[in-house]
Amino acid sequence: MFELRRINVGFDFDVSMRGIHQAGGGVSGKTQTVRTVNGAVLAHLRQVYASHAGSATEWSPEKKAAFLKDIQHDTEAESAPELASGKAWDFNEFLRYMTSSITNAVAPPHEEDLSWPLSSYFISSSHNTYLTGNQLSSDSSADAYKNVLLRGCRCIEIDVWDGDDSDDDGETSSSSSSSSSDDEETKEKRKSRFSKVTGKLPKSLTSRFEKTSLEKPGNTAAPTVVPTEAPSTTPPANPLQKVSSGKEPRVLHGYTLTKEVSFREVCVAIRDYAFAVTDTPLIASLEVHCSHEQQETMVAIMRETWGDFLLPEPKEDAKHLPSPAELRGKILVKVKYVPPDAEEEEEEALPGDNQTAKAKKPSKIIQALSKLGIYTRGVSFKSLTQPEATMPTHIFSLSENGVMEVHEKSARELFEHNRRYLMRAYPSGLRIRSSNLDPAVFWRKGIQIVALNWQNWDEGMMLNEGMFAGTSGYVLKPEGYRIDKPLPAPSTPENPQATAVKHYTLDLTVQVLAAQSLPLPPGDDNPSSFRPYVKVELHVEEPGERLDKDALPEDGREKEGEYKAKTKSRKGCDPDFDGQELRFEGVPGVVPELSFVRFLVRDDEVGRDSLAAWACVRVDRLREGFRFVHLVDAEGVETEGAILVKVGLKLR
């Protein structure tokens, strides 16, 4: 093992926390380096060095420059430090370069431009943020908000319900002060709610839940995160303390067995951590099921707790959406819009929404609460031609099934709407184990806010990581997905609409050389039985998603993720893959900013192969040449694991 003591990986996290990965606003490629180089990796690096050195023992400045330009395709800025010295490279100098952050397979994101309207960005978003596990029987916790905020999430969800006499501190997940009789009464109420929901679910779904205890959460929440940086100018006000809820509103997943937490405690957690890792605006999406009296309490709690983080009430309605740069350090409340001069109506069901947990119509929204929604006014979706669909500050929220129904009937109209106005998509209510939808499918429809279950590291969250890693949680849409200019005026010859979406044909080659320090799959503690292989999956737009379907060749792939290839398996945590080559040639209809490469390390076993580690990279951020793919484990935890690869990428 070759140890690189001089390298500083850029983190100072508590070893006991193991450095939880931050998706969306977290780890940047600029800080990821290689601490040590193990046998197989070192051998391959020696071969690379020797093959370019020729008969000489050193690389001349000319050979060095040619390698950086022709093999690595480094930018001028990346190459400048190496070329400025004008010195030859011996192997130690080459090794210093190869273990630096410059050789991370993930390029840093482009310099952020936060000057466009809110609708021009994809926003890192959470669904049912309060839950620590599954959708039916897990705990609700204020710590869940702390967790996602420290991981860079910029849109959180809060389901708010009336408090009652049984909702004192004894019903929060962290309290043990209730009497045993109160506990039994609470359990019976929760079981009754649970039975109402499961009674409406298909047997195929309820049978999956038989093994889940009705008294305990189904999954374990991710550990608390230690942020890598804290740009906020406002430090946390007070340490998060237990707040007496009394008859104040509570947060939970209605008509289920999930435990509740007080609304006030959630607001305190949001106040303390909203801007701990970034000062870009935070959207708090409220799902309100409270009486008028309790809604007044909600307003009072938010004003008291969030204070100047809230936007002042405008003198007149906004004529266009502001930019994230104009809203730094602000909490935007998303709540149902009730016009001041209109009769209040109960919210209607959304198309394709099978969420049994939210089947009951919510209470009417009072004006004092509705007025907090300034740039994020929730409007019940009926059609893309309803009058509110051109209100600059409206936002439609649709389930994944609802979005697909609208896309099936009005694909182009949906896409055009999302160029200028906000939309939110959330998982189906049938995802009781908190699985996730494929966010890329919805991003390609221009939807800015695609809410995911952050407590579950599955394919959806991996793609979310590929989109938002190293960013502030806001990613500017590619050309064609936003209005051409950040102007409020409608499209005219002087202010044209966006240019057409650019599609490419992709040729991708990944040569897998070796790996080191691979983590074992969860529950496995025997490295000698570990037989890892590397699987590479390419996630691109399906032919059915395209607005111009005729532009694709007849042999276009039918399913996203069908482009898959894997190496042969090897033994141990430091395997040599002997340069096995994985090729993806002539992939049509690729939008690089919305296409992803997933690297999966799995254990070759009898039956299902367990996931050991992974990485996900957006195609436009995948670097060419000899690179290290830095890995996180199956639970989203940073590891020392890395794969040495050679990447060839061509867009035509």
Strand arrangement, sheet containing 638-651: 563-566, 532-539, 596-603, 611-618, 625-633, 638-651, 504-516, 576-590
User: How far is residue 57's CA from residue 91's CA, in Å, rounded to a whole number?
Assistant: 8
Say if residue 12's pLDDT is above 80: no
Structure tokens at 221: 């929440």
**How many other CB atoms are found less than 10 A from the CB of residue 112?**
15
**How many other CB atoms are found less than 10 A from the CB of residue 361?**
12
User: How far is residue 125's CA from residue 111's CA, in Å, rounded to a whole number?
Assistant: 21
Question: What's the whole-number mean pLDDT along residues 82-103?
Answer: 90
Mean pLDDT of the chain: 81
User: How far is residue 336's CA from residue 357's CA, in Å, rounded to a whole number?
Assistant: 18
Per-residue model confidence as pLDDT tens digits over 356-400 = 545 545 448 999 999 999 999 999 999 999 999 999 999 999 999
Q: Which residues, 6 or more positions from 473, have their beta carbon under 8 angstroms from its beta carbon?
A: 24, 25, 123, 124, 152, 153, 154, 278, 280
pLDDT value of position 542: 83
C-alpha neighbours within 13 Å on the C-beta side of residue 350: 27
Say if residue 599's pLDDT is above 70: yes
Question: What's the whole-number mean pLDDT along residues 525-544?
Answer: 93
Q: Which residues, 6 or more positions from 450, have their beta carbon under 8 angstroms from its beta carbon?
A: 122, 125, 424, 425, 437, 439, 442, 443, 464
pLDDT value of position 199: 57
**How many other CB atoms are found less than 10 A from the CB of residue 542?**
20
User: How far is residue 229's CA from residue 226's CA, in Å, rounded to a whole number?
Assistant: 9
Question: What's the whole-number mean pLDDT along residues 595-605?
Answer: 97
DSSP classification of residue 643: E
Per-residue model confidence as pLDDT tens digits over 537-552 = 999 998 777 776 544 4
User: How far is residue 459's CA from residue 433's CA, in Å, rounded to a whole number?
Assistant: 14
**How many other CB atoms are found less than 10 A from the CB of residue 340?**
7
Amino acid at 450: V
User: How far is residue 452's CA from residue 550's CA, in Å, rounded to a whole number?
Assistant: 32
Helix (H, G, I), strand (E, B), or coil: what is residue 5? coil
Per-residue model confidence as pLDDT tens digits over 277-334 = 999 999 999 999 999 999 999 999 999 999 999 999 998 999 999 999 999 999 999 9
pTM of the model: 0.82
> Going from the N-terminus, what domains does the chain have, and what CATH number goes with each?
118-476 (3.20.20.190), 504-651 (2.60.40.150)
Read off the pLDDT band of 344 (50, 70, 90).
Answer: very low
Q: What single string gives the DSSP state of each residue in 461-488?
A: HHHHHHHHTTS-SEEEPPTTSS-SSS-S
Q: Compute CA distances 464 → 194, 461, 470, 555, 564, whole Å.
A: 31, 5, 12, 29, 19
| Pick from 164, 640, 429: nearest CA to 629 | 640
Residues above pLDDT 90, as percent of the chain: 61
H/E stretch holding 416 reads helix 400-420
Scanning the structure block, which residue is given the tokens 């694909």? 411
pLDDT value of position 136: 67
Q: Compute CA distances 309 → 58, 171, 278, whole Å.
A: 58, 29, 14
Say if residue 423's pLDDT is above 90: yes
Least confident of 107-116, 223-232, 508-517, 561-570: 223-232
Structure tokens at 216: 């305990």
| Pick from 650, 502, 642, 530: nearest CA to 585 | 650
pLDDT value of position 563: 94
List residues bridging with 632 in a β-sheet. Answer: 614, 638
Question: What's the whole-number mean pLDDT along residues 158-174?
Answer: 61
| Pick from 374, 301, 357: nearest CA to 128 | 357
